[in-house]
A and B are shown apart, each in its own frame.
Chain A
């Protein structure tokens, strides 16, 4: 374990120094890597640790983004404060979904449908709200200042994005080590067995969706103040939910590092392929590739790349250490 922490620390230091050598374009890609790693990590809390698949996490991002941006525009409340208000709103919506879904022990597919249904309702309602610009979308006038979470250039966003990722890693690691996290894993592996041993399944699922929705929505404030434009058709769409889901699945659900590794693998690939294919006139081709990737990963690496690497590589390392001592 110590070596892993050591490696992570080295990685963090490297990432802190790295921007000195990068162009603004590459910084932009790194910002997206951090953004999706953070979102994947937040999704991972619910789906990776309790096994309840949510395909509606774009709803929470949308709530966080709109609430914080609206408060900043209409009432002048700093997004640094507004993001927590948005987080509470999203967490309440998450609790409502959880209450509906978990009360009857809706498992598997039913819960997936419920999350999609709520996300779609949310998208349609936000699309018709005049306060949020309706079909035109919501424009945010930039006023560059730290308090407004708005900056010229990519560098500050890079460090804030990195901060988000470190924050999420710490939260998930603490959660994993805590009793709550253990209960979540227990109910993921066998709900009936966990319940028969006295784990309050409903309660721990509710805690998981609360934390997950809250954390997810914090990224919304970042998104809003990075792009200065919000539209439910992008930020609250099913496609965005799938983007969130893809990275932790490829990296490895239910692990602390899976979403981050998945994001480092997929985000640059997706950005480069997106720009390459749309220049070549095949807009949408990268999504076709995504689709096949999702199928292939679930068929061949159902536990993600990180578990595969562990299973294949660990014996090699362990054996070589053994032979050294002998």
Chain B
């Protein structure tokens, strides 16, 4: 096995993990407050990607700036979605909450397909293909920028939740819905804003991913799955867990195929674990976590 290659892959996975953390943060925030899983998460991210891409084509603004527009539009979309659909299903049995959001996922995915076409697009932005070298390790500049911005945004969101009035209301509502109602909080507004922030996180992540990976309307579902896995790995509703989980999954997906191929060859099997199967690594982690520690790494009580 080539150690240098593994290190290279680990670094690149770690950088992508920062963006994964941001995606999972949005999902975890929504779940922590409303106990609803946003099954349209990845599909909404794709909308964030396409918005940033469209701005790039129309005005030439680099996705590393226009992600702010993606975030704003996704906030509005999330706010409206909460008000129209999610708010009505909060008291449904847990399982029945899944289906309307799966329906919304189909709406987002296929409307993106109608608007932007079914083909893969990879826009050539300014920083594409440039890289820094750090010792033996090459660092992709777009990946590094996406990572740094994702971390900054994550800190901003956490700061918002800790320090501002709205953030405190959100945390209060997460802790005790009835209590927050009793002290006169407008719970519907809090929920809608919280859902909006969650989807804005994923919209941001979408904008940041535009320079790194080709976009197509159908890449949403795998991202929905990955963010679930991260959130379960970290512990449902735990924000710290979502961040740590993001890095773990980022690295695991990146080095997994290479490592497993190496293992196969180590025991004398002539098998290859192709890169297109990297999701299997995360699904495997999900199964192990569900078996051994269903409450997740940072989860307190079992769900």
Contacts and interface: CB of A to CB of B under 8 A. Distances in A.
Given A291-B104, A298-B100, A113 B110 contact: no
Nearest to A109: B37
B5 interface: no
B66 to A, nearest CB: 26
Nearest to B35: A109
A110 B290 contact: yes
B274 A288 contact: no
A53 interface: yes
Contacts of B104: 291, 295
B90 interface: no
Given A120-B283, A285-B110, A299 B85 contact: yes
B110 A287 contact: yes
B232 interface: yes
Contacts of A117: 225, 229, 283, 286-287
Contacts of A292: 103, 107
B107 A106 contact: no
Interface string A290-322: 111111001100100000000000000000000
A155 interface: no
A52 interface: yes
A128 B110 contact: no
B228 A113 contact: yes
A52 B274 CA distance: 33
A283 B118 contact: yes
A109 B95 contact: yes
A298 B114 contact: no
Contacts of A295: 85, 100, 103-104, 107
Contact of A53 (B95, B279, B283): B95
A294 B103 contact: yes
Interface in A2-34: none
Interface residues on A, range: 35 or more
B215 interface: no
Interface in B181-213: none
Contact of B106 (A104, A113, A290): A290
A166 interface: no
A186 B290 CA distance: 26
A282 B217 CA distance: 14
A291 B274 CA distance: 33
Contacts of A302: 92, 96
Interface in B89-111: 89, 92-100, 102-107, 109-111
Contact of B225 (A120, A239, A245, A291): A120
A125 B228 CA distance: 21
A3 to B, nearest CB: 31
Contacts of B118: 283-284
B106 A100 contact: no
Contacts of A108: 93-95, 98
Interface string A57-68: 000000000000
A-B complex: 6 closest residue pairs judged by Cβ atoms: A294-B103, A108-B94, A291-B106, A291-B107, A284-B110, A287-B110
Interface of B: 37, 85, 88-89, 92-100, 102-107, 109-111, 113-114, 118, 217, 221-222, 225, 228-229, 232, 274, 276-277, 279-280, 283-284, 286-287, 290-291, 294, 302-303
17 contacts: A53-B98, A53-B99, A55-B102, A106-B294, A112-B98, A117-B225, A117-B287, A121-B280, A121-B284, A128-B277, A283-B114, A284-B111, A291-B103, A291-B106, A292-B107, A298-B103, A299-B85
